Chain A
């Protein structure tokens, strides 16, 4: 069964550094998402992406965040200048076409900002 994949599984960075989290959605999916989960808390929506543009973003997704689909398979989340409070598990998700609601989650990237 096809799965969403993410790399790296764990990223440690210094405060102020840029990080890029990578995701490979399921190949025929059209809708892409990033969520984050601070340790012990609920999953929070960051951004959705369709047709090469952002569909919706949350208040968390400020100017320090950006997303890109640089080619036909990857979907990336960039944090330009990381803060301590960016430490969390970041999940990528993807969904099929319009009539299909289910979002499939990747295994996550644990980001630790020191």
Chain B
């Protein structure tokens, strides 16, 4: 069965500095990987996904993520953090071998706090 780990409950970064939110995964086959962001009292918003192809995926709001198969990781990055990036971030994985229903497995989330 697939699983996702987000090892950090919270990440603190100063505005203007680069940020990284970590995610590692486990699947039987090839992974489909996703990042979602949740702002307070809102639903999850899709940021980006890796299905196949280029290991560096670019998404919304200047975020990007790098797929690393050997390390089974899909870390979320941004070169320069904004205070408005402060939110809860979820990594999710789906096994490409699961061609039936699209069961996504979510991590427990990482809270990002960007200080002015």
Same complex = no
Chain A: residues with CB nearer than 8 A to chain B? none
